[in-house]
Structure 1
């Protein structure tokens, strides 16, 4: 494990007992937490994107704010639902955040996760899908987005325009960030999409939910997906080594408060049906730090990935989450090979 960071779902709303976490609270706390993580030397802070839900839905302003308040930490998404996106506007926003951050954006995109509404992307104006889950729209949007990020000319210059200085040919979108292409990730939910990402030449984000069930433990199923991705990358002839991330729910049990919240959360893999597909859900790790080290070293997918994303209970606030992250950084991560960015 070369890097680790956090993956936040950005939930807000009622907390019980008459308490309320507002959307503003959620975003401002995310900025404060990222600053604390930057000081600890944690490598990244990433956000899930969900529309029509009390969660983060428009990540670019948040990522820009975090980038402006931090120095080292990678900022990113895991993942942006491409069914909802104007690909050229997203490319402009992504380039802007990447330039503001000094090249610290890691942009995870995909078809997206199951929705709280029926085909919500159609309400955003993206219709005509032939797939019940809109996968064809997501791929079309991604193809155009990738061309824009690569700097391909997409619109004919107007030589007669007073603003065009007589230029002809094709114009790329602006701004353009040259290094961003190498930090685009595809969130793959199965082996086929992982292989596709390898052929295209983007990094791989693999989550704790796979839309597959082949009778294998989750970590082995995910490890096979990672192997297939890297094989497809090599066969396509791409240069260098791609990055691979996996996400896990991991809680070092150090204090009485840790035990109160997560002491009974250790469980096994789960099988269920989501989006009409039989799926495998990864387990939660919650144990004393020395036990966690043994368990995580035995996780086949974590051994293959270079980046580990910890899903965090963002509703519990900055102080609690920062303490959990610090426990992982000091008591668990070094035994997994992590060095960190501080200093």
Structure 2
């Protein structure tokens, strides 16, 4: 494990007990948390993206604000639903954010997860899908997005334009060289992981896999990572791709930790999502020395280069920063991690 960060659901709204977290509070707290994590040398902070829900739906302004207030931490998503996206506008925004951050973008995209509405992407104007879940729209949008960020000319110049004529095809602007190296595809199946490898983008293995044959979740996920890397090599891409997995991990260090997380640990679960039998990973909650042993026996955690901790963001900055610091101090070094610290 070379790097670790957090993956936030970004929930806001009623919290119970008369407490309420507004959308503005949620985003401002995310910025403060990112600053604290940057000081600790944590490698990344990412946000889930869900439309028509009380969660992050338009992450680019938030990521830009975090990038402007930090110096080392990667800013990212896990994942942007490509069914909802204008590919060229997303390409412009991604390039802008990558330049603002000094190439610290870790943009996770995919077909997206189940929604709170029916075919919500059609309300955004993207109709005509032949797939019940809109996967064809997502792949078409992603293809155009990749062409755009790689600098392909996509619109014919106007030779009579008062802003500079000429002929030939014009690329989108701004352009951030090498941005494709910082794009991740979220995969829930081995076949999708292999496609990502052939395409030449990094792999963000999903928190659930739409495969359920009795194989433990971590083994299924490790097999997916292996298949992805094999497809990458067979396609002849240069360099080594990055891979990430996410886990709910809660080091129990204090009595308060025990109160919140004691008894939370469980086993893999089998369920049905999007009409498919799926395997969900378990939650880890234990004293640090126990967590180290458990995670060293998690095949996917040890195979991936990046681990993302799913955090209860609605619990506030102080709570989550302590959770992350406990992991960074007591668990992550035993898994091979070293902090990214400022240079003098």
> TM-score, normalised to structure 1's length?
0.99
Residue in 2 that maps onto 1:315: 314
Cα deviation for residue 207 of structure 1 reads 2.2
Superimposed CA distance per residue, residues 281-307 of structure 1 (whole angstroms, 9 cap, x where no aligned partner) = 000000000000000000000111000
Does structure 2 conserve the Cα–Cα contact (< 8 Å) formed by 1:207 and 1:248? no
Q: Give yes or no for the alignment of 1:145 onto 2:145.
A: yes
> How much has 1:319 moved relative to structure 2?
0.2
Mapping 1:81-96, distance limit 5 Å: 81-96=81-96
Question: Residues 286 and 292 of structure 1 are in contact (CA less than 8 Å); yes or no, is this contact kept in structure 2?
Answer: yes
* CA distance, structure 1, for counterparts of residue 319 and residue 161 of structure 2: 57
1:197 aligned residue: 196
Asked whether the equivalents of residues 88 and 148 of structure 1 are also in contact (C-alpha less than 8 Å), the reply is yes
Per the alignment, in what secondary structure is the counterpart of residue 76 of structure 1?
A: strand
Report what 2:57 is aligned to: 57
In the alignment, which residue of structure 2 is the partner of 1:79?
A: 79
Q: Describe the SS at the equivalent of 1:15.
A: strand
TM-aligned CA deviation for residue 2 of structure 1:
0.1
The separation in 1 between residues aligned to 2:213 and 2:193, in whole angstroms, is 16
Does the 8 A contact of 1:267 with 1:284 survive in 2? yes
1:187-246 deviations in whole A, cap 9, x for unaligned? 001001000000000000012211111210000000010000000000000000000000
Query: Which residue number corresponds to residue 266 of structure 2?
Result: 267
Unaligned 5+ residue runs, structure 2? none
Superposition RMSD in Å = 0.6
- The alignment status of 1:154 with 2:154, answered yes or no, reads yes
What SS does the corresponding residue of 1:174 show, helix, strand or coil? coil
Q: Give runs of aligned pairs for residues 133-282 of structure 1, distance below 5 A.
A: 133-164=133-164, 166-282=165-281
Which aligned pairs between 1:40-55 and structure 2 lie closer than 5 A? 40-55=40-55
Q: Which blocks of at least 5 consecutive residues in structure 1 are unaligned?
A: none
- State the shift of 1:264 in Å: 1.3
Match of 1:37 in 2: 37
Aligned to 1:120: 120
Which residue number corresponds to residue 107 of structure 1? 107
What corresponds to 2:3 in structure 1? Answer: 3
TM superposition outliers: structure 1 runs of 4+ over 6 Å: none
| Kept after mapping to 2: 8 A contact 1:203/1:242 | yes
Deviation of 1:139 (Å): 0.2
Q: After superposition, what is the alpha-carbon deviation per residue over 1:37-66, rounded to whole angstroms, capped at 9, x for unaligned?
A: 000000000010000000000000000000
Task: Give the whole-Å Cα distance in 2 for the aligned partners of 1:278 and 1:17.
Answer: 36
Deviation digits for residues 101-156 of structure 1, max 9, x if unmatched?
A: 01100100000000000000000000000000000000000000000010100000
Residue deviations 1:63-116 (CA, integer Å, cap 9, x gap) = 000000000000000100000000000000001111110110010000000000
CA offset digits 1:153-204 (Å, max 9, x no partner): 000001111112x311000000111021110000001001000000000000
Once residues 240 and 279 of structure 2 are traced to their aligned partners in structure 1, the CA distance between those partners, rounded to angstroms, is: 28
Question: Is 2:33 the counterpart of 1:27?
Answer: no
Secondary structure at the residue paired with 2:308?
A: strand
Q: Report the TM-score, using the length of structure 2 for normalisation.
A: 0.99
